[in-house]
Amino acid sequence: MQVQTTREDHRIAWLAALAIAIHVLEAALPSPLPGVKPGLANVITIVVLVQFGWRVAAWVSLLRVLCGSLLLGTLVSPTFFLSLGGALASLAVLALAARLPGRGLGPVGYSLLAAQSHMLGQFLIAWQLFIPHPGLWTLLPLLLTAALLFGLLSGIIAHMMLQGVTREPA
Amino acid sequence: MTRADWVLLLALLAGLPWLYVHFWNSAPGQQLAILTAEGPPRILPLYPNRELRIAGALGDSLIRIEQGRARFIASACSNKVCVQRGWIDASGETSACLPNRVSIQVLGRDARYDAVNF
């Protein structure tokens, strides 16, 4: 059986593969606090959002969550649902942000928004499904501070990548 | 960076201190739950001041309730972790005497479970 693929399918696959590789490499880094990690794979999501639009970014992001969890062995574990919840939350917010009038947000703004909504999404899932203890809310300020710093970092990396990608070859 | 990027970044930076103030100043609890190995949990108001003698697995635990806070002041255990814990007053705070199987928790918002594991 031959499956017809378009150029866009190939593009999505390549970009998702790149994001998955970063996702898996990053899983090797130790984390100071559950739920906190740099999230560098989202640099790809942001670059894709700016270059190819929200639809491709959603594909790349969700494929990364699915295949990343298959490779790391966390599929349908709590980690997976936290990851998926975060990805869905940030995609929803990015869908709204991409519709801003005027010049709108740049890669740094998208990345900041995505990081905050990713953290909030996974926090609410953790709170609803796994740890419905009021003490959990004490962690929220720390988690959102980490999300702000890492979101800014990822945004700056995405910005630099986009400058490299869009520069005309000399 | 576009102007919207800066506005967003400054708004987030401004919002952070509010988060810390809001979530790290926990509201004082109004009620105390006392859990023992036997029987259902007892839920009592944190006023007025009084002392309670709770029968546990090893013997009695003495719990003092005073001005909206509570603590173990004696327990029939050997290491007295529960007594060392001191006063608890914020919702969600707990103090437990595991050997005697008595624990107390200040109640605030909805707290049906501590954690759920699959």
Mean predicted lDDT score pLDDT of chain B: 87
Distance from CA of B14 to the nearest CA of A (A): 11
Domain boundaries, chain A: 7-166
User: Are A132 and B12 a contacting pair at CB < 8 A?
Assistant: no
The residue among A75, A123, A144 with the most chain B CBs within 10 A of its CB, best to mutate, is A144
Question: What is the structure's pLDDT at A101?
Answer: 85
pLDDT-derived band at B118 (thresholds 50, 70, 90) equals: low
Confidence band, pLDDT 50/70/90 cuts, at residue B77 = very high
Query: Helix, strand, or coil here: A1?
Result: coil
| Fold for the domain defined by B31-107 | mini-chromosome maintenance (MCM) complex, domain 2 (2.60.320)
Residue of B nearest to A101 (CA): B4
Average pLDDT, rounded, for chain A: 91
Residue A123's pLDDT is 94
What is the per-residue pLDDT for A13? 95
The residue ranges of every structural domain in chain B are 31-107
**DSSP-based three-state secondary structure for B118:** coil
Q: Between these two residues, B7 and A34, which has the higher pLDDT value?
A: B7
Max distance between CA atoms of chain A, in angstroms, equals 58
Q: Residue A170 pLDDT > 60, yes or no? A: no
Chain B residues touching A144 at Cβ < 8 A:
16, 19
Contact A134 B20 (CB under 8 A): no
Q: How far apart are CA A158 and CA A40, in angstroms?
A: 9
d(CA A143, CA A157): 21
> With respect to CATH, is domain A7-166 assigned 3.40.50.970?
no
In tens, the pLDDT along A39-83 reads 899 999 999 999 999 999 999 999 999 999 999 999 989 889 999
- Consecutive H or E run containing B102: strand B102-107
Q: Tell me which chain A residues have a C-beta less than 8 angstroms from the C-beta of B19.
A: 140-141, 144
Which helix (H) or strand (E) is B2 found in, with range? none
Residue B18 touches partner A, C-beta closer than 8 Å: no
Q: What is the pLDDT of residue B75?
A: 93
